[in-house]
Amino acid sequence: MVKSREWSRKTREEVITLHRKGNGYKKIAKMLNIPRETIGSIIRKFKAKGTVETLPGRGRKKMLTSTAVRYLKRRVEKSPRVTAEELRKDLSDAGTEVAQTIRRTLRNEGLHARTPRRTPLLSPKNKKSRLQYAKSHVDKPQKFWDSVLWTDETKLELFGPWINAMFGGGRTRPMKKRTPCLL
């Protein structure tokens, strides 16, 4: 039968101490109010392993090896806009068939998906003209600025839909393109 709970280290040590003093399984079970089968399994484990400590190596094993994790991290740092689906295809021969596993692994490695800042690409000529404009208008009175409606006509989406990039690496995906309102 599967273990439904784990007994404290102190209780397990007490079972071993009572057993060494010559008490039988039934007597120990009555004294500590623990099932007899449990007493037997604690003593068997102690005889086999020599300890009552909870040993490592329990639970589900990781799907990705440390080599695969290092490969993912290197690949993402080299090309931050690679998608989790592309990474999954690369690792499909290693047995990883779920892109979510790759995303979770990259997050655990400190690589989180971020949308890059949308900044206009300014040429040196544009930078110079903007600076000149700012310098010429720095001393204008507040009344002048109250009458200004719009001072910049920068296009926010320069090269089509923006995608997430992993800063530190990771999964990318295209942002949903919004359809314009026709009203």
More reliable by pLDDT, 172 or 59:
59
Residue 1, pLDDT above cutoff 50: yes
Residue 128, pLDDT above cutoff 60: yes
Q: Please give the Cα distance from 133 to 140 (Å, whole number).
A: 12
**pLDDT exceeding 90 applies to what percent of the chain?**
25
CATH class for the domain made up of 9-49: mainly alpha
pLDDT of residue 183: 34
Give the DSSP H or E segment for 113. strand 112-114
pTM value? 0.45
Mean of pLDDT over the chain:
79
Over range 106-128, report the average pLDDT: 81
- List alpha helices for the chain, DSSP H: 9-20, 25-32, 36-49, 66-78, 84-91, 99-108, 124-136, 142-146
pLDDT of residue 2: 58
